């Protein structure tokens, strides 16, 4: 469907807006480049539309606007954003782009080009696509910045997608893209991605928190002004030019805090922070940015007392993504703790726009830039050496981008930086792969320690090696860094392949020498005797000497008296046909009758009325999880095609186990009153209960059997009215890491 006249007018208006917000586009050549890319992409996508019915070109325009305004990149990046779907969705090729726009833009487009239908068809290819994106990142960081802009616009327009795709894309976003934006210093994009992911993963929670934010807005603004006024006065008096404003914390961060602390919205005190952004230190001839941060802090703490344990000094020690600021928490009016963030204008630019602003300032100040270079190098190494297990790669990558750092010393005094929680084996591989492969122990501060010993900042470490040592699988249990895990897995993989080949040769030779023909059944029975589920594991254990060939010979001779089936080639593997069953596009309805085809996940114990989704099993059954469950979200991010929409129907025949936590003031009869309500006033049964008291305060946990969330809500409401009870909440055991 071609564009209407109004749509053509609208598109031209979008071009004018794009040029207006492209602050780094100044030269005529840059303007001509963007116009050329705009016109080509407009023509290429002219007959295409999005799911919402809008012209498809509205998406590349929106991505280009994000790249220009919210990330702050230049002309080539804006042109690449406009062209980012041309090769994938139209007849243009990378060669065409290179001929028309040059090798740099062609390289960026090649890095951005998606694998056709990957996200809906194959989870391992989905991960492989992410891996390729990161590989491109290691060559040109603009690829990842544009890709994040692309994901942000897709999240902003997710309403037009079906629910099962919304959940899958939101899970992907929270699992991978938001952490990546955080690691690269794109705070604004990271925050919006998190909030949008929450909106689609947990719509009821998102709407409820949004409502509460709006209800408290007037009072919050009034309180912020009350805090700011005396600070502004003292800074003006000292001649410090700055802007001061309150910054509302994101809905996602508040929800996350409610989850981790298990408290309601009303008990989250730090809904906002005060941010002070002062002019660039060049305006202060006798000062610099760091000194100015500390000066402002001293002026503020003369007004408000501060919390000494809650000072975060990222001015002296910037984060690896380049973030610099001084955070302090002060006691504001009305006895409330308030966080205050102090930054220069340059620090603020880098904090909000990440790498783009980092490059802008890099020529003036290299401080912190090495951290970014190291990040990219570590990613590059991890990507090049990752084994084929794509889902394991995702977990390693996610762990790596979330870490903070420690600093240790070699015997010669060289300073080494490692992720927090790193062990001796991590340091060994950080020094050199061969040091890691041959490591047997270490001297930490002159004391002998095992490879699993957790290092701390300031430790002096000497790695001890042996030529007879080789990597062990158990090392993966205590290796923390992505680099160490990658090296260990690579070495183990090579050793495993060698042992499989060696073991197969030994076994086949023995079978041939004994002049035996093995049936499929006989070979399977032989493997089962050695607890090996497949032939590769069987051969590997023979090659490694775990299974002795002499012992196998005894088993073969023992069984040779049986009647063997026709000769079966050991190297052949039959393929089973896939049976047609449930897909992620279906809606699975739970009712009283169909109670054999689903299982309620024990990690989150969902009950009727909870927001839930399901994981499709190979046998076409469904495991039902709460939408807040970490296990569900991890699987949705990695294997979205296994996630199915689940709806509760009538379900009254069975009861479901839940746990509630009660806290209050210990009074005579309070426990009796609580159990009386449960046993006599509501139709639920108690499985177990446990109460403890300490200095007049009691804490209790009760396991109940309820029919649905309405039953549970009734129980919580009634117990909450008991005299002495201060809080009643449903709790879940975190089994995400089991």
Q: Which of 7, 89, 387, 395 is catalytic?
A: 89
Instruction: Concatenate the DSSP letters of all residues of 483-523 into one string.
Output: HHHHHHHHHHHHHHHHHHHHHHHHHHHHHHHTT----HHHH
The answer to whether the beta carbons of residues 92 and 86 sit under 8 Å apart is yes
Coil/strand/helix, residue 36: helix
* Rounded CA separation 13/18 (Å): 9
Task: Name, in order, each residue with C-beta under 8 angstroms of 468's C-beta and a sequence gap of 6 or more.
Answer: none
Distance CA 329, CA 342 (A): 11
88 is catalytic: yes
How far apart are the C-alpha atoms of 136 and 142, rounded to whole Å?
9
Query: Which secondary-structure segment (H or E) carries 438?
Result: helix 433-438
Which pair of structure tokens corresponds to residue 399? 């762990």
Q: Which is catalytic among the residues 20, 88, 95, 226?
A: 88
CA distance 192 to 724: 41
Contact yes or no for 282/292 (Cβ under 8 A): no
Q: What is the CA radius of gyration of the chain?
A: 31
- Maximum separation of any 2 CA atoms in the chain, in Å: 101
* DSSP strands (E only) in 219-345: 242-248, 272-278, 312-313, 326-331, 337-344
For residue 92, the tally of other CB atoms under 10 A from its CB is: 17
* Token code pair at residue 354: 């990440």
Residue 290, class by beta-carbon neighbours within 10 Å (0-12 exposed, 13-18 middle, 19+ buried)? Answer: middle
How many other C-beta atoms lie within 10 A of the C-beta of residue 83? 27
Torsion sign (Cα): 501, 502, 503, 504: positive
Spacing of C-alpha 444 from chain mean position: 33
Tokens representing residue 34 in the block = 């963007």
- Helix H or strand E encompassing 327: strand 326-331
**Torsion 240-242-246-249 (CA) sign:** negative
Residue whose pair of structure tokens reads 């080539």 in the numeric block:
76
Candidates 691, 706, 622; CA nearest to 657 is 706
Following CA atoms 713, 718, 721, 723 in sequence, which dihedral angle do they give, to the nearest 10 degrees?
Answer: -130
Please report which residue ranges of 285-416 form alpha helices under DSSP H: 289-303, 345-353, 355-362, 369-385, 390-402
- Dist CA 112 CA 504 (whole Å): 43
SS3 24: coil
Q: Provide the CA 228 distance to its chain's centre, in angstroms.
A: 35
Closest CA to 145 of 433, 299, 376: 376
Q: Count Cβ atoms within 10 A of the Cβ of residue 651 and give its class: 0-12 exposed, 13-18 middle, 19 or more buried.
A: middle
Identify the H or E element spanning 247.
strand 242-248
> Residues 6 or more apart from 725 whose CB is under 8 A from it?
662, 663, 664, 670, 674, 719
Taking alpha carbons only, the member of 173, 135, 174, 130 closest to residue 154 is: 173
DSSP-derived 3-state class of residue 310: helix
* Spatial distance between the Cα atoms of 80 and 146, rounded to a whole number of angstroms: 8
Angle formed by the axes of helices 94-101 and 103-112, nearest 10°: 150
* Residue reference for tokens 């989850």: 259
Residues that are catalytic: 88-89
């Amino acid at each position: 469907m071609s564009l209407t006249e109004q749509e053509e007018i609208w598109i031209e208006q979008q071009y004018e807006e794009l040029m207006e917000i492209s602050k780094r586009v100044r030269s005529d050549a840059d303007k001509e480049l963007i116009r050329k890319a705009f016109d080509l992409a407009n023509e290429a996508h002219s007959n295409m539309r999005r799911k919402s019915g809008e012209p498809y070109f509205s998406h590349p325009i929106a991505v280009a606007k994000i790249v220009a305004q919210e990330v702050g990149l230049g002309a080539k990046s804006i042109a690449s954003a406009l062209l980012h779907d041309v090769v994938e969705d139209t007849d243009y090729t990378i060669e065409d782009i290179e001929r028309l726009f040059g090798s740099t833009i062609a390289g960026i487009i090649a890095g951005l080009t998606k694998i056709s239908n990957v996200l809906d068809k194959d989870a391992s290819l989905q991960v492989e696509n992410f891996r390729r994106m990161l590989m491109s990142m290691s060559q040109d960081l603009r690829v990842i910045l544009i890709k994040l802009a692309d994901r942000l616009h897709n999240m902003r327009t997710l309403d037009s997608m079906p629910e099962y795709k919304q959940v899958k894309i939101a899970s992907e976003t929270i699992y991978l893209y938001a952490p990546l934006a955080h690691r690269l210093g794109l705070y604004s994009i990271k925050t919006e991605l998190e909030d949008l992911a929450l909106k689609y993963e947990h719509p009821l929670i998102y709407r409820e928190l949004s409502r509460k934010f709006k209800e408290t807005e007037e009072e919050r603004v009034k309180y912020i002004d009350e805090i700011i006024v005396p600070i502004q006065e003292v800074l003006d008096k000292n001649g410090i030019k700055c802007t001061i404003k309150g910054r509302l914390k994101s809905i996602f961060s508040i929800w996350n805090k409610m989850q981790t602390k298990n408290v309601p919205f009303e008990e989250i005190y730090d809904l906002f922070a005060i941010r002070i952004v002062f002019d660039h230190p060049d305006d202060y001839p006798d000062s610099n940015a760091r000194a100015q941060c500390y000066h402002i802090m001293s002026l503020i703490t003369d007004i408000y007392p501060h919390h000494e344990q809650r000072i975060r000094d990222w001015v002296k020690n910037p984060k690896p993504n380049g973030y610099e600021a001084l955070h302090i928490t002060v006691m504001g009016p009305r006895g409330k703790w308030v966080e205050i963030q102090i930054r220069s204008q340059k620090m603020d630019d880098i904090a909000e726009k990440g790498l783009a602003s980092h490059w802008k300032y890099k020529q003036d100040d290299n401080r912190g830039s090495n951290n970014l270079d190291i990040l990219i190098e570590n990613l590059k190494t991890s990507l090049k050496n990752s084994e084929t297990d794509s889902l394991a790669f995702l977990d390693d990558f996610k762990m790596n981008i979330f870490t903070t750092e420690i600093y240790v010393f070699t015997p010669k005094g060289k300073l080494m930086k490692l992720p927090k929680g790193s062990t001796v084996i991590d340091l060994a591989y950080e020094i050199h792969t061969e040091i890691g492969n041959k490591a047997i122990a270490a001297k930490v501060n002159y004391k002998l320690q095992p490879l699993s010993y957790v290092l701390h900042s300031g430790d002096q470490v000497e790695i001890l090696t042996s030529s007879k040592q080789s990597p062990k699988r158990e090392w993966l249990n205590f290796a923390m860094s992505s680099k160490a895990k990658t090296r260990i897995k690579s070495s183990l993989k090579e050793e495993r392949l060698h042992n499989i080949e060696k073991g197969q040769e030994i076994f086949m030779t023995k079978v041939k020498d004994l002049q035996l023909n093995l049936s499929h059944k006989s070979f399977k029975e032989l493997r089962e005797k050695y607890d090996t589920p497949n032939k590769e594991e069987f051969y590997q254990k023979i090659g490694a000497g775990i299974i002795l060939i002499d012992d196998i010979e005894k088993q073969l001779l023992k069984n040779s008296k049986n009647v063997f089936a026709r000769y079966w080639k050991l190297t052949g593997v039959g393929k089973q046909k896939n049976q047609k069953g449930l897909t992620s596009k279906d809606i699975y309805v739970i009712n009283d009758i169909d109670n054999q085809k689903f299982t309620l996940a024990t990690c989150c114990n969902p009950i009727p009325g909870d927001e839930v989704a399901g994981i499709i099993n190979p046998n076409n059954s469904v495991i039902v999880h709460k939408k807040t469950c970490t296990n569900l979200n991890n699987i949705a991010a990695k294997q979205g095609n296994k996630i199915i929409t689940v709806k509760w129907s009538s379900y009254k025949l069975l009861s479901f186990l839940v746990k509630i936590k009660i806290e209050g003031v210990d009074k005579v009869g309070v426990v009796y009153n609580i159990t009386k309500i449960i046993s006599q006033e509501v139709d639920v049964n108690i499985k177990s209960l446990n109460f403890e008291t300490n200095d007049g305060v009691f804490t209790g946990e009760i396991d109940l059997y309820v029919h649905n969330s309405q039953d549970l809500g009734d129980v919580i409401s009634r117990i909450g009215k008991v005299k002495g009870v201060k809080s009643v909440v449903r709790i879940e055991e975190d089994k995400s890491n089991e």
